[in-house]
Amino acid sequence: MQSLLIIGFVWPEPNSSAAGGRMMQLISLFQRQGFKITFASPAQDSDFMIDLTAFNVEKKAIVLNSASFDTFVKDLNPALVLFDRFMIEEQFGWRVAENCPAAMRVLDTEDLHSLRLARQKAFKEKREFKINDLLEEDVAKREIASILRCDLSLMISEYEVEVLTTTFKIDMSLLFYLPLLLELDAIPNLDLVPSFQNRRDFIFIGNFLHEPNWNTVQYLKETIWPLVRKQLPAAILNIYGAYPSQKVLQLNSVKEGFLIQGRADNAQKVVKQARVVLAPLRFGAGIKGKLLEAMQCGTPTVTTGIGAESMQGDLPWNGFVTDNPELFANKAVALYQDEKKWIEAQQNGIEIIKQRYMRTLFEVGFKAKIQALQDNLPQHRLNNFMGAVLQHHSLKSTKYMSKWIEEKNKN
């Protein structure tokens, strides 16, 4: 049985964020390929992290800037190492390359951080985002270097694959499109989920540690929700999300029907009880777990172009997509009041799940890609000369910075 080491940015919290759910999907996918998995992370334990041992995954705490990791990874001798986001590859990639040179190195990008940050910067500067903004983003230089140093990067968004191949000229051999993956039971049984008549209220749900979610709640409070309430004076919007700060909690207003509910004990339960999901995201990247979850719950959504990016392909959306606040509010009210439109949107979401997110659509191709790279790894690395250059120079600079910190910590 081959050994897989996953180095996590944090311990997985599938009930707190789409990233946590994504990680558990990857764990399941690799286990189905026969890998024995060790999950290591320098992060502190959290109250909401999943019990990895219950999923037959060994849990290992590791330390940044410490030679103890070298001993650990050499003894484990994994066939494959998966880095959870580029920051983890920066910290541990050189140690893996030095101590286990034959191990295949895979990066799970989650989303393109540089794209999200560049869009956020453009938004805050009150200007339109242009793709060339990425070329000036320091995080992009780090992120692209990490992608080049790895043997394969898993991409969750087709648009981001396009950005990497056109703007940054990354070869497709280094990328694999692997969105959020769902099982058959993710397709909602319309006889079991609440009907239009048995649902009430609007909902937004999202981890508040994620800046695009916090900005969305502010936008809802200041702009979108007042427009909805003009048409539906008794309407209620429930805001759910893990890790709400005091500034989030202060937005709660019973009078305005704007209710901050905090962490949902069962996210799918509260989404199934709602009639419409509102997600007016103004910046971000990747694909949005909250919108895919809404489809699983049979709940129509109103979102923006950023929210729906790369999610439905050529299929009609699970509701409406618009960046105009007045139109956004009008569409939200229409979905809330018109049962025929609501049922049509619900059916659209089911088709999107079936045609774009089923695990069975990707599993065979993913397994073949991993196997082909393992069988041909030396030649694959020779073909990626820029990656070898970056591995050589980045490894040296990161290595000696880390060793300096290590020695400093001893004193």
Q: Which two tokens stand for residue 339?
A: 């049962």
Given a contact cutoff of 8 angstroms between Cβ atoms, the answer to whether 327 and 345 are in contact is no
* Dist. CA 91–CA 95, nearest whole Å: 8
Residues 13, 67, single domain; the answer is: yes
**Is residue 222 classed exposed, middle or buried when 0-12, 13-18 and 19+ CB atoms within 10 A define those classes?**
exposed
Write out pLDDT tens, residues 233-270: 999 999 999 999 999 999 999 999 999 999 999 999 99
DSSP string, 272-312: HH-SEEEE---S--S--HHHHHHHHTT--EEE-HHHHTTTS
pTM: 0.93
Domain containing 212 — which CATH number? 3.40.50.2000
Predicted local distance difference test score (pLDDT) of residue 279: 98
Residues 149, 104, single domain; the answer is: yes
Residues 235, 332, single domain; the answer is: yes
Predicted local distance difference test score (pLDDT) of residue 396: 61
Given a contact cutoff of 8 angstroms between Cβ atoms, the answer to whether 208 and 241 are in contact is yes
Counted domains in the chain: 2
* Dist. CA 305–CA 110, nearest whole Å: 19
Given a contact cutoff of 8 angstroms between Cβ atoms, the answer to whether 299 and 272 are in contact is yes
Residues 47, 177, single domain; the answer is: yes
Residues 60, 159, single domain; the answer is: yes
User: Looking at 344-398, which runs of residues are DSSP E strands?
Assistant: none
* Dist. CA 240–CA 265, nearest whole Å: 10
Q: In what helix (H) or strand (E) does residue 153 lie, and over which residues does it extend?
A: strand 152-155
Among 318, 338, 356, give the residue marking a domain's end.
356
Q: Which two tokens stand for residue 127?
A: 């200007």
Partners of 154 in the β-ladder = 108, 176
Residues 217, 148, single domain; the answer is: no
* Dist. CA 290–CA 307, nearest whole Å: 10
Residues 345, 367, single domain; the answer is: no
Write out pLDDT tens, residues 275-316: 999 999 999 999 999 999 999 999 999 999 999 999 999 999
Domain that holds residue 75: 3-181+359-410
* Dist. CA 177–CA 361, nearest whole Å: 11
Residues 106, 138, single domain; the answer is: yes
Residues 56, 156, single domain; the answer is: yes
Given a contact cutoff of 8 angstroms between Cβ atoms, the answer to whether 349 and 298 are in contact is yes
Q: CA angle, corner 403, sides to 7 and 92, nearest 5?
A: 15
Q: CA angle, corner 160, sides to 171 and 80, nearest 5?
A: 60
* Dist. CA 207–CA 264, nearest whole Å: 10
Q: Which of 12-16, 29-33, 389-393 is most confident?
A: 29-33
Q: Among 384, 402, 383, which Cα is nearest to 94's?
A: 402
**C-alpha atoms less than 13 angstroms from C-alpha of 344 in its C-beta half-sphere:** 12
Given a contact cutoff of 8 angstroms between Cβ atoms, the answer to whether 300 and 345 are in contact is yes
Write out pLDDT tens, residues 60-89: 999 999 999 999 999 999 999 999 999 999
Predicted local distance difference test score (pLDDT) of residue 393: 65
Write out pLDDT tens, residues 46-60: 999 999 999 999 999
Among 310, 331, 356, give the residue marking a domain's end.
356
Residues 167, 285, single domain; the answer is: no
Predicted local distance difference test score (pLDDT) of residue 51: 96
Please report, in angstroms and rounded to a whole number, the separation of the first and last CA atoms in the chain.
42
| pLDDT (average), residues 77-104 | 96
Among 356, 380, 398, give the residue marking a domain's end.
356
Q: For residue 408, is pLDDT > 90?
A: no
Residues 133, 147, single domain; the answer is: yes
Strands 3-7 and 36-41: parallel
Write out pLDDT tens, residues 318-352: 999 999 999 999 999 999 999 999 999 999 999 99
Q: For residue 10, is pLDDT > 70?
A: yes
Residues 283, 402, single domain; the answer is: no
